[in-house]
Structure 1
């Protein structure tokens, strides 16, 4: 998937602390979700389809990747 991220509105989770060890996400016009490292905003970003993002966040909330 090749998406122009120049106009994306990036934000950090409300659960993010004040440190620079955060990820940022952007909800994109095509329904995709971008994820990037907040320390490297001009670096690469991961792109998820809406279904992939829903599956990922569901797995996070159910503890599939470890303790919540």
Structure 2
């Protein structure tokens, strides 16, 4: 077992692909695009990016980041 230093960030946990297929935007009920690099689910219709934290999609509109043009 290897220990990682406390100041080394852990790799982001991957979201379950089966779960991502089921999720829709909570506002528009449209499909979402998965941005693995940013760890976000993108709703093009609502122009919002929902964060994924520790492998868990946070589907609250108050937690979403507005998309820029």
**TM category, shorter:** 0.3 to 0.5
**Structure having the higher Rg:** 2
TM-score (norm: length of structure 2): 0.38
**Which of 1 and 2 has higher RCO (CA within 8 Å, sep 6+)?**
2
